[in-house]
Structure formats: C-alpha cells, structure tokens
Chains A and B, each alone.
Chain A
Amino acid sequence: MKILALDTSNQAMSVAVMVDGQVLAEMTLNRKKTHSEQLLPTIDHLLQLSALTPEALDRVVVADGPGSYTGLRIAVTTAKTLADTLQLELVGISSLATLAAGALRTKDLIVPLMDARRQNVFAGMYQWLDGALINVAADRHVALDQLLAELALLKQPVTFIGGDVAKFRDAIKARLGAQAHFVDAVSALPQAGRLALLGQHAAPVPPATFVPRYLRLTEAETNWLKTHDDKGHAPYVEKV
C-alpha cells in the first residue's frame, strides 16, 4: 500500500511517503513559514524522490485535529481534495495521537499537548500496549490547571510531548514534580512517518464530508448558543 501522510496541525509541518510499511521519504519543516506555501511543493518533492506520481497512491492519511484552526484546514483540505479527485482512500488520525506516537519505549502515560491560548491546551492521554498506541482519555480542549490536577491524582509517571510543551514546562514541573517526564526537542515534533503507521490499517472515510476535529466551537457560535437553539434552524449552508 502506497501512503501519503501529512500533518499541518502544529507550527511544524510533516509529510511522509510510506510504501508497504516502509518510509521512503519524510520531511519535517519547523520554520515559521505558511503551511499553504510549503505543503504541496513538499508533497511533490517527496513523491518525486520516491519515484511516485500522485495517481499511484492508494491512501492519504492526514492529522485531522486538534490544532491551529487555519493550519489544520490546509492539510485536511489538501488530503480530502486529493483523495476525492484521484479516488484514493482517506484516513484521519488525531494530531495528538501523531505526537504521542513519538514517545517511544515508555510505559508512562503519554500526554501530547498543544497550546490553545489563555492557559488552555488541547491534550489527550495515550499509552503503549503490546506495541499499539492506545487512546486512554479522549482528546479535548482543557484548562492546563485542570489537566495537571487530574494527572496529579493518577499518581503515575507522565511523559509530556509536543512542540508547545516547552512553554508549559515550568508549570508542569511545579505541579507534578518528578511524576512528569519530558522528551527531547526532536521527538517533540510531529513525524508524518509515525502518522502513516497509525493510519495504515484504519478504516477509510468519505472525503466529501470529511472535516477537521477542532474540538471547539467558535466563540461566535458558543455565544449564540447561550441564547438560541440550534435545533430546527434553517440549514446554515444552502446551494442556491
């Protein structure tokens, strides 16, 4: 199976080409350049280096959230368009699972996290079990304080992973002390090769209705719902 895997949910962007379980090419870019400008050229470059054309692919695996809203949409739109237009299989994998998969050789609870501003994070809980990455607690948008309080109660070692962990490192250590472990700067970045591995056996989904998992309503919708009911409302989008 020929897989293209892509992740633009973090500041770092990662793309990989995997054929029959082997990574043929992988590139992770961590410059502050827009994903929009560099994603498709990177895909093209890696496919060429792998001696593949886009139509030769079988499957596209994309990190579908949570993450930076605009960033997420770049990979998701590219993936769903590519899958639909070339009739490839499409698989969405949690971008937090993608990060968690970078924490190898640990029995710790793995907590991938991303900054969601105002002392909130997107975070999940994962653990390796017989070589498979298991989702222990669902990905969610949560206040950092609350997450750390919950983890403290668990009283088990926790490995934090993700490019944004560095900014919260002091707060995490203050709350969890020796319970908290950290990975090095290389493992902290998403690697699309791991994303491809996570997605190679997952069930494909229909591209047309595929959307990012933002894990958060927009502020405008949240405020509107305080005084209105969603049900029975006219369709929000209509073909005219």
Chain B
Amino acid sequence: MSERELILAFESSCDETSVAVVENGVTILSNIIATQINSHKRFGGVVPEVASRHHVEQITDCINLALAEAKVTYADLTAVAVTYGPGLVGSLLIGVTAAKTVAYAHHLPLIPVNHMAGHIYAARFVKPLVYPLLALMVSGGHTELVMVTAPGEFAIIGETRDDAAGEAYDKIGRVLGITYPAGKEVDRLAHLGHDTFHFPRAMDGEANLDFSFSGLKSAFINTVHHADQLGETLDRNDLAASFQAAVVDVLVDKTMQALREHPVSQLVIAGGVAANQGLREAMTAALATQFPEVDVVIPPVRLTGDNAAMIGAAAHIELAKQHFADETLNAVPNLNFARA
C-alpha cells in the first residue's frame, strides 16, 4: 500500500478545460489548463455552446497530459474529483461526464466539488489554512464574502445583488474599447491615471455585507456617453483609475467590515479578480493599518483563475469526510453555499 493520496481532478465550469493530479491535497503534480480565451474573444464574451464544443475537443487530451506530466497511471489514483457547479450547464456536463466515466471504468470513488470551494482551497497551495477564516471571492461570475468555519464548511455572509466585480470590468472595458477579458488591461490603465470622476461606492457604509456593481457600471457608461455627446474626450487612464478605485474601495471596506464582525486570523482572496494589482495593494494596505495580525493569503495568478488543481485541493477535504457521488451525478449550474 502506498501512502500517496492521488486525486485526478476535473474542472470545466466555464471556458477552461482543466485536469490535474494533486497529491495529499497540497502538492500539484500536474495542472493542465486548456483556455478558450482566443475563441471567445471573437464574440466579446463566453458563448456557452461554443465553450461546450471546445470542452469535448479538449477533455481526453487534458486527462492524458495530466497523468503523463504527473507520471502516474490510473492504478495509482485514490479518487476522481470534479466541479459539478456553479457554472455553465453545458460546460459543466463535459467535466462531470468524463470524470464519472473515468471513476466508473477504474472503480474509483467520485468526489463532487463546488467550484467556489475550489477557488478558496487554491490558497492551500500557498500555506496551511487556519480556521475559521474569511474568504473574499471575486471573479467574472461571483463576488462573495464567505466564512470558512472548518475544513469544507462554508457560509456566505455577503454577496453581490447584481453584477459580479469581474463582470463589471468586462462591461466597462467594452466601453473603453478593450477586448474581452478586460480586467488586466483596466488594471494596467488604472495605475497610469487618477480617481478624478469619483463614481458612486454603492452600499458602502451600509450595515450589511452585500455588494452592488450595476450602479457603478451605469454611472461609468453615462459619464462616457455624456462626454461623447458634448464632443469631449475623457482621459481613459483616469476613467479606468476611477472605476477601479470605486470597485476596490467597496471590496476593501466590506472586507474590513466583515473582519470586524467575524474575527479570524486568515483572509483568503480567491477568484480571477484576485490577480488585480489594485485590489492586492489596497487590501494589503488596509490590513496593515486595521488588522495587522490578520494573515492575507492570495494564490499565485495561475491558481486564481479556473484550474483543476484547486478542485483537487478542495476534494482532499471532501475525501476525508467520505463525501462521494454515484453515477447519477449531474451538473448543478446554480450551486451555491448556504447563506449564513
């Protein structure tokens, strides 16, 4: 008997097909990511049917590459894990179907993983997690504050009531003529400009921990259109800086408010927007003055985006709890943590 716990993990919830092999929940032996970004750039955003088609093209190749790079065979595996939600149903189904089939063919236990849990557990590759911890989850599809009270125990304490932060970046990016996905470029421009427009910070200062970004998005678009009508050209750098400042201010303020209400020693910043430099800088600065004792964990960029290694890390926790699924496992596109 080998003491190695090897999980073959699948992730296909949106526009990345990814398969990874993770050892003992902490070591990435392989993490193959096939990104469809060049395809969806054509359409200015992810087209679900196109995404599903790419996943079918890629999935077998990704499995074989993941095993080869990890230098393991099916016989070495302990379990198979897969994201079963939230996400695009057609996309999720490819990973779910392939993972179920591999688990069935090799008589391995199948572990269903919540995609959001995966994003949070990407932090486990940086250092051991200390519970309870607070996670700020920001991506193209989600903006949530999540309390992780114990391994694999999640509760939402705040969430967006409309657009996700990443979604707002893409929408205002379009207005600035930046191709999808816009986050990185808006972040870059923001560092070249100043917050001169003072866009609204929606819900900031309210007693709840929820977010709203649609008002900010509208204020941004109206400002640009109004200038267009007057024949004025606004400074793109200042526009980007003003937008980013409004987003980051709210994210940081709500996170500080959450830390006041829910004392923890660790803060995890998870999801694709965690790669945003403006957010990283502002959060680090706010913690240094208000919560110097709180340890902030931000996974490296490769692990903040969608990838299967993070699903393997989350599956390690579920494996210990023996949380398995059978062959009827289906995609659950609107899967979410319970609200606290």
Contact = CB atoms under 8 A, between A and B. Distances in A.
A218 B74 contact: no
Nearest to A38: B328
Contacts of B56: 73, 76-77, 80, 211-212
A186 interface: no
A240 interface: yes
B96 A36 contact: yes
Given A74-B93, A81-B97, A82-B105, A40 B57 contact: no
Interface in A54-95: 54-55, 69-70, 73-74, 76-78, 80-82, 84-86
B108 to A, nearest CB: 11
Does more than half of chain A's interface fall in helix, strand or loop, or is it mixed?
Answer: helix
B59 A77 contact: yes
Interface stretch (A108-116, A139-147, A162-170, A229-237): A229-237
A84 B64 CA distance: 9
Contacts of B17: 237
A233 B17 CA distance: 20
B34 to A, nearest CB: 5
A210 B105 CA distance: 19
B63 A221 contact: no
A91 to B, nearest CB: 16
A228 interface: yes
B338 to A, nearest CB: 24
Interface string A205-218: 00111111010001
A5 to B, nearest CB: 15
Contact of B42 (A38, A82, A224): A224
A117 interface: no
Nearest to A81: B101
B94 A77 contact: yes
A55 B105 CA distance: 7
B105 A86 contact: yes
A213 to B, nearest CB: 12
Interface in B38-61: 38-39, 42-43, 47, 49-50, 52-54, 56-61
B330 A74 contact: no
Given A41-B327, A44-B104, A69-B52, A237 B47 contact: no
Given A218-B49, A228-B42, A73 B90 contact: yes
A38 B97 CA distance: 11
A220 interface: yes
B221 interface: no
Does more than half of chain B's interface fall in helix, strand or loop, or is it mixed?
Answer: helix
Contacts of A240: 33-35
A34 interface: yes
Contact of B93 (A70, A81, A214): A70
Contact of B90 (A70, A220, A224): A70
B100 interface: yes
B190 to A, nearest CB: 24
Contacts of B90: 69-70, 73
B327 A239 contact: no
Contacts of B54: 236-237
Nearest to B37: A238
Nearest to B326: A41
Given A41-B327, A228-B42, A238-B34, A208 B61 contact: yes
Contacts of A209: 57
B325 to A, nearest CB: 11
Given A73-B52, A214-B53, A85 B63 contact: yes
Given A36-B93, A85-B63, A44 B102 contact: no
Nearest to A77: B97
B65 interface: yes
A15 B50 CA distance: 27
Interface in B87-134: 89-90, 93-94, 96-98, 100-102, 104-106
Nearest to A235: B38
Contacts of A74: 93, 97
A76 B39 CA distance: 22
A122 to B, nearest CB: 16
B39 A81 contact: no
Contacts of A221: 42, 50
B52 A239 contact: no
A73 B94 CA distance: 7
A78 B60 contact: no
Contacts of A20: none
B279 interface: no
A193 to B, nearest CB: 22
A237 B64 contact: no
Contacts of B32: 239
- For the complex of A and B, the 3 pairs showing the least CB-CB separation, nearest first, are A236-B39, A40-B327, A81-B101
Interface of A: 34, 36-41, 43-44, 54-55, 69-70, 73-74, 76-78, 80-82, 84-86, 207-212, 214, 218-221, 224, 228, 233-240
Interface of B: 17, 32-39, 42-43, 47, 49-50, 52-54, 56-61, 63-65, 74, 89-90, 93-94, 96-98, 100-102, 104-106, 326-331
8 contacts: A36-B331, A40-B100, A41-B327, A70-B93, A73-B97, A80-B59, A81-B105, A85-B101
